[in-house]
Amino acid sequence: MTAAARARLLAELRRFDQAEAELRLGLLTRPGDPDLLALLAAVLRLNGRPADGLAAAEAAIEAGPGSAGAHAERAENLIALSRGSEAIQAASEAARLRPAEPEVHRVLARAHAASRDFRRARGAAREALALDARSVPSLLTLAEVERVSGRRRAAARATRAALAEDPENPGGRWLIALLNAERLHVGEAMRGLRELAADHPDRLRAEALAWPILGVLAGLQRGLAVGVPLTFAVRLAAPWWSLAGLFAQAIALVVAVVMVSFTGRVLLPAGRLPWRCLALLPRGTVITGLVAAGASVALLVWYGVSTRLPALVLAAVAVLILCVSGVFRVRVTSLNPG
């Protein structure tokens, strides 16, 4: 078995450090091999080291300028580094070099999606499907483009088509769970994630299973960051507007009720699993966020029934703590089991 074959097998098992070691051993005897360098770039990217992966991909291009795989891998690493325009150029070059290869069109679709050009991203994904209409990776690429662009029904159709070809595909099952989560079908999303975690325990990180908590914190952060300053602004208008105090109380109570309703709608159907996964997350940040969010909502209720300005001031302080304690967002690119 060659070094490349061993590295691919190890990468499929998510043993990226060992895959990297195999490739570096292979490069000792074939230092200018563009295929080995491109594969090394992929392994480094999958191991969370896109900057190192980019360097390896550029070395692969220098060794073999006509290697479409090297240009495609350079694009993948540029996407991971949020350098969208450069990623499009690299992926376009890969597609020019190998126009009949669906993978290069999938990379180009991801590059356009990273730059928020969903029309071109959709076109590139459909180009990949034109080459192989039943390709599961191409269908899932189209599904992800549609999901990120906000077309969830189209994303669900493409995902179901992929699962019709491969019912156990972890990427398709992940996307279905994610689409359910985005529609706040929390029970269905958690069932799908539990089953996926049981089948692929090495691929699903704790953040994915704890998404209801992280999602609630992200929602509370956004809602309170708007609601509390708005309440404050209306309250400060009291010297010039006689009804300002009453309106500020009403806003405070409405914001509090909306935040509590949203929290209950997400966390109650989620069950106990997200809380069990909390131990695997940065607990200090999450607990600080939960305490700050809860305190802010309680202080808004206190202000709404008492009109005491110190309660509103303390609510603003709690929101500030919530905002600086961390960004509570689940990124699909980091959690997709692929």
Query: Does the domain formed by 1-119 have CATH 3.30.930.10?
Result: no
CATH 1.25.40 applies to domain 132-204: yes
Least confident of 8-22, 80-94, 155-169: 8-22
Alpha-carbon distance of 142 to 184, in angstroms, equals 22
Q: Which region among 84-88, 150-154, 322-326 has the lowest average model confidence (pLDDT)?
A: 322-326
- Rounded to whole angstroms, how far apart are CA atoms 68 and 97? 6
Tell me the DSSP string of 270-304: H-SHHHHHGGGS-HHHHHHHHHHHHHHHHHHHHHH
Q: What is the pLDDT of residue 41?
A: 95
Q: Which residues of 29-45 are buried (b: 16+ CB within 10 A; e: fewer)?
A: eeeebbbbbbbbbbbbb
Where does the pLDDT of residue 193 fall: very low under 50, low under 70, confident under 90, or very high at 90 and above?
Answer: confident
Q: Is the pLDDT of residue 149 over 80?
A: yes
**Coil, helix or strand for 127?**
helix
Which residue is listed with tokens 């077309």?
Answer: 151
pLDDT of 78 reads 96
- Token pair listed for 114: 């990273």
- Residue in 52, 56, 43, 50 with CA at minimum distance from that of residue 15: 43
Angle of the 211-236 helix axis to the 186-199 helix axis, nearest 10: 140
Write the CA distances from 60 to 52, 55, 72, integer angstroms.
Answer: 13, 9, 11
Residue 132 half-sphere exposure toward CB, CA atoms < 13 A: 18
Residue 198 contacts by C-beta under 8 Å, 6 or more apart in sequence?
none
Kindly state the average pLDDT of the residues 179-206. Answer: 83
Six-digit token pair at 186? Answer: 């929390």
Q: pLDDT digit string (tens) for 9-21?
A: 988 888 899 999 9
The reported pTM is: 0.78
Give CA–CA dist 269/275, Å, rounded: 13
Look at residues 9, 79, 78 and name the one whose alpha carbon lies nearest to residue 39. Answer: 9
Q: CATH 1.25.40.10: which residues of the chain?
A: 1-119
Quote the tokens at residue 161: 């088509």
DSSP secondary structure letter of residue 37: H
| 197: confidence class by pLDDT, cuts 50, 70, 90 | confident
Q: Would you call 25 helix, strand, or coil by DSSP?
A: helix
Residue 85 has pLDDT above 60, yes or no: yes
- Max CA pair span of the chain: 83
- Residue 69: which pLDDT band, with cuts at 50, 70 and 90? very high
- What confidence category does residue 333 fall into, taking pLDDT thresholds of 50, 70 and 90? very low
- Phi, psi for 327 (deg, rounded to 5): -100, 115
Residue 116: DSSP 8-state: T
pLDDT classification of 134: cutoffs 50, 70, 90: very high
Percentage of residues of the chain with pLDDT beyond 70: 95
Burial class from Cβ neighbours inside 10 Å (0-12, 13-18, 19+) for residue 21 reads: middle
Whether residue 335 has pLDDT greater than 70: no
Q: pLDDT of 44-56, one tens digit each? A: 999 999 999 999 9
Average pLDDT score over residue span 104-120: 95
